[in-house]
Amino acid sequence: MMRSLYSGVAGLRTHQTKMDVIGNNIANVNTTAYKASSIVFSDLMSQTTQRASGPNATTGAGGVNARQIGLGVKSGAININITGQGSTQSTGNPFDVMINGSNFFVVNNGQENFFTRDGSFYVDAAGNLAMTSLGYNVMGWQVDPDTGNIKKDTVTALRIMSTVNMTYPPEATSEAYMSGIIDKNDTDVTSESGKVVNLEFFDSLGYSYTAKFTFRQSSVKEEYSLELDKILDSTGKELELSPEVKQALFADNSGGMATQQVSTKVSLKKGYTWNTATGELSNAEGTVATLSNIFNNDGTIKSGDNVVSDAGVTPAVTEAQRAQQELNALAAAYGYEGSAEDFLNLCVGIENNATPPVKETWSVRQLLAAEVGGNFNTGATGDTLTVQRKFSDLGGGAFTSDARVYYGHTVTFDAKTGYLQSVDGLTTNFTVRLNLNAAGLGGNDANGNPVNEETNPMGNFSNITIDLSEISMFNNKGTSTVGATKGSNDEQTRGMGSGRRLGEMIGVSIDQSGLIYASYDNGMTRLLGQIATAAFANASGLEKKGDNLYSATMNSGEFDGIGEDITSGGGYMSTGQLEMSNVDLSSEFTEMITTQRGFQANSRIITVSDTLLEELTNLKR
């Protein structure tokens, strides 16, 4: 009679435990990444009143089963549905991360690692990725500074917003390309000023500059000159480029001056007179240019800083300033106002005194400088003339230029196909180079010498290789579309070498494999680290620690301190989302009903047993 009472008590206790499990599940129905628990029962033990016996062959009696009376129920196991994926909750927060799969985030409180499915993270004041609820650091792998790739070593705290990561360093432009159409009927191309093409580029400090190039058509319509006109800084100020610097900057592939065929009539404006004996050009107001004030004996333009004073001229100017002023006045007198360099680059063919005479090409620069003194090389052969030619040999008035020289490149198109045929006569190499460092624009070294890119990369500029292969010569209704773009045009390396300014961090993103990238306002991205995960042979063996945390046990398997890439097991991460609880309310309410009925039935066992005991005691009045 007493056994049923204790069986009823055991049943009440066990169903009460099940109700505790159900209640905890329902209480956590909205807990982030909560994993539902379930309980299973097992019988407590049985009292054997008669053991089982086997058949007796001698007597022919059959076997008898054991007689056992159960003594109640107990909790067999409490299991966690830890591998059941919870539903998705969209938050829009880029630092909210949900694991799709069976892995766990690794977090650390400064002393030990814990594991969680709660991916609600934020960036703390130190720049570390941390749990929103506890502030525990999210653990992962760092970027190898040598390779730029993730180094899967022992997990450490992910500091994604350090001082170094907040900006992306600038870089000098090293590659560019020109593309588009040059229409031979474009009036810009055929004009003296030419078709202007701008190339924006950066120095190593992130300052921007604009190189202005021009395409000019020669007498041969399939042939064009590509010249560097000027370089402007970000404020629009023009860099001072002497002819010698321009030669170093943008000479042809042979390193010298290129020649272009033209047919230009040049004449002195009315009112000007030329005194060849003194090398002076005058008008009604007086002398406007003296060649000895413009040129040195070696034919270069004066660049001295010594202050000179001309009668009636105020304020006083330097030698270089006076030379430029008088050169501009000289060019203007021949109709080249504002284009002194174009005037100096005009060429004239003059026969020398050889037998028979050979026609040699002399530039106006050479002829004018020859009036000051010295022998000069021809642009055609490079041989010193036996008879020195001077500008006065042209009569000083009108002359016809049949060519022009320039520091730049000759671009030739195929007249039949319209595609690029050669650059400086080369049919296989369609690139040119803007030698910014070689020209000394990269600054000076410790000894005051111009920085050269090949020997000393400390300059502010890098030399820029410009690909011309995408230029064509087609009919485009008289409009040229040729333009310049910084960066490589190769399919494999497109955009590389474009250079950039200093970039400020504008965002952080996490991809499906847990890689963390920073994006910057200069268009660059940087890998900051990767969120590591932990996988266990028996995840159900993890021990709950509260606050959505678990710790490893002997039955779950140990964490090796390195972790796993979540994609190695077929899982992935979703950003802007959190994993919801995997509690199924319909199932929990059903379990609650059956638990309630089981509890009621067990209570009736005790009630009925008590009634029987009461009847037993009433046998004796």
Of 114-123, 339-348, 369-378, 478-487, least confident by mean pLDDT is 369-378
Let me know: does 81 contact 591? Beta carbons within 8 Å.
no
Let me know: does 159 contact 189? Beta carbons within 8 Å.
no
pLDDT at 351: 75
Residue 216 has pLDDT above 80, yes or no: yes
Measured CA to CA, the distance from residue 94 to residue 578 in angstroms comes to: 11
DSSP β-ladder status, 97-100 and 572-575: antiparallel
| DSSP 8-class letter at 388 | -
Report, as an integer, the average pLDDT of 48-74.
Answer: 84
- If one compares 395 and 459, the residue with the highest pLDDT of the two is 395
N- to C-terminal Cα separation, the chain: 20
Report, as an integer, the average pLDDT of 25-44.
Answer: 92
Let me know: does 304 contact 319? Beta carbons within 8 Å.
yes
Q: How far, CA to CA in Å, does 181 sit from each of 188, 211, 495?
A: 13, 20, 21
Nearest to 170 by CA among 466, 568, 502, 597: 502
Confidence of residue 280 (pLDDT cuts 50, 70, 90): confident
| Fold of the CATH domain 170-256+407-501 | Tick-borne Encephalitis virus Glycoprotein; domain 1 (2.60.98)
Measured CA to CA, the distance from residue 82 to residue 286 in angstroms comes to: 100
Nearest to 268 by CA among 256, 282, 257, 278: 282
pLDDT at 448: 45
Measured CA to CA, the distance from residue 555 to residue 114 in angstroms comes to: 16
Q: How far, CA to CA in Å, does 594 sit from each of 391, 472, 598?
A: 116, 84, 6
Q: How far, CA to CA in Å, does 390 sit from each of 326, 327, 339, 350, 490?
A: 19, 17, 22, 10, 49
% of the chain residues with pLDDT over 70? 91
Residue 57 has pLDDT above 60, yes or no: yes
How many Cβ atoms are within 10 Å of 612's Cβ, its own excluded?
12
Let me know: does 48 contact 68? Beta carbons within 8 Å.
yes
Six-digit token string for 187: 């009036």
For residue 171, the SS3 value is strand
Residue 21 has pLDDT above 60, yes or no: yes
Nearest to 197 by CA among 242, 165, 152, 229: 229
Residue 305 has pLDDT above 90, yes or no: no
pLDDT per residue over 78-125, tens digit each?
999 988 999 999 999 999 999 999 999 999 999 999 999 999 999 999
pLDDT at 495: 83
Nearest to 113 by CA among 157, 80, 82, 152: 157
pLDDT per residue over 238-266, tens digit each?
887 777 777 888 888 777 778 888 888 88
Confidence of residue 378 (pLDDT cuts 50, 70, 90): very low
Residue 594 has pLDDT above 90, yes or no: yes
Let me know: does 107 contact 590? Beta carbons within 8 Å.
no
| DSSP 8-class letter at 339 | -
Question: Number of helices (H) and strands (E), helices first, in the chain?
Answer: 8, 39
| DSSP 8-class letter at 161 | S
Six-digit token string for 362: 């002399």
Nearest to 596 by CA among 107, 2, 11, 6: 11
Six-digit token string for 97: 């991360």
Give the residue ranges of DSSP H helices in 204-309.
243-250, 291-294
Confidence of residue 600 (pLDDT cuts 50, 70, 90): very high
H or E segment and range at residue 213? strand 208-217
Report, as an integer, the average pLDDT of 401-407.
Answer: 84
pTM metric for this prediction? 0.72
Q: Give the DSSP per-residue string, 471-523.
A: EE----TT----EEEES---TTTTTTT--B--EEEEEEEE-TT-EEEEEETTS
Measured CA to CA, the distance from residue 578 to residue 46 in angstroms comes to: 48
pLDDT per residue over 424-477, tens digit each?
889 999 999 998 876 556 544 444 454 444 444 445 888 999 999 999 999 999
What sign results for the dihedral spanned by CA atoms 502, 504, 507, 512?
A: positive
C-alpha triplet 308, 313, 319: angle, nearest 5°: 25
Residue 227 has pLDDT above 70, yes or no: yes
How many Cβ atoms are within 10 Å of 198's Cβ, its own excluded?
12
% of the chain residues with pLDDT over 90? 48
H or E segment and range at residue 592? helix 585-617
Residue 387 has pLDDT above 90, yes or no: no
Mean pLDDT over the full length of the chain: 86
How many Cβ atoms are within 10 Å of 486's Cβ, its own excluded?
21
pLDDT at 374: 55
Let me know: does 333 contact 268? Beta carbons within 8 Å.
yes
Phi (first) and psi of residue 438, to 5 degrees: -65, -25
Phi (first) and psi of residue 322, to 5 degrees: -65, -45
Report, as an integer, the average pLDDT of 561-586.
Answer: 93
Residue type (1 letter), 137: N
Report, as an integer, the average pLDDT of 208-225.
Answer: 90
Let me know: does 554 contact 201? Beta carbons within 8 Å.
no
Q: How far, CA to CA in Å, does 204 sit from each of 174, 198, 201?
A: 10, 20, 10
What ranges do the domains of the chain cover? 2-52+65-83+584-617, 88-163+511-579, 170-256+407-501
Nearest to 374 by CA among 306, 292, 305: 292
Residue type (1 letter), 442: G
